[in-house]
Amino acid sequence: MLDAVQSGVATLEAQCRDLGPLIDRLEWDGLDRLLSDMGRVRHELMNAWEATRDERTDEFSDEIAARIRRVLTYREWQLKRLQKLRDELGGRLTLVSRWKSYARSVAGRRQSRAALFTDVR
């Protein structure tokens, strides 16, 4: 059963390595699937950890705890990157929205002026 714990941690480590490139390429569907899979693996790992309570040595527990801390630290860093990206994209979308609104208001005035002159014959 200790193998299930080691396997779960190794899977989380591999998933963390996959997280960064998905954020870099803005692959939202892949990112959503990976985060969902990470939650599933984390749950399986917690179950395996609980099932091995009597089998674990202190050395094994310390090694696994250190690996999980690295995974959580890396995942937290990647999520902060994702939040920063979201904030930057939100700012850009707000700016684009303002420009579009301005363009519509200017275009609307031009069309009404043009309509004024087209009515004169």
pLDDT in tens, the chain (121 residues): 899 999 999 999 999 999 989 999 989 999 999 999 999 999 999 999 999 999 999 999 999 999 999 999 998 999 899 899 888 888 878 877 778 887 778 776 666 555 555 555 5
Residue with tokens 């920063």: 84
* Cα end-to-end distance, the chain, whole Å: 91
Where are the domains positioned within the chain? Answer: 2-119
- What are the distances in angstroms from CA 94 to CA 86, 90, 99, 107? 12, 6, 9, 20
Residue with tokens 């250190």: 66
The model's pTM: 0.69
pLDDT of residue 90: 82
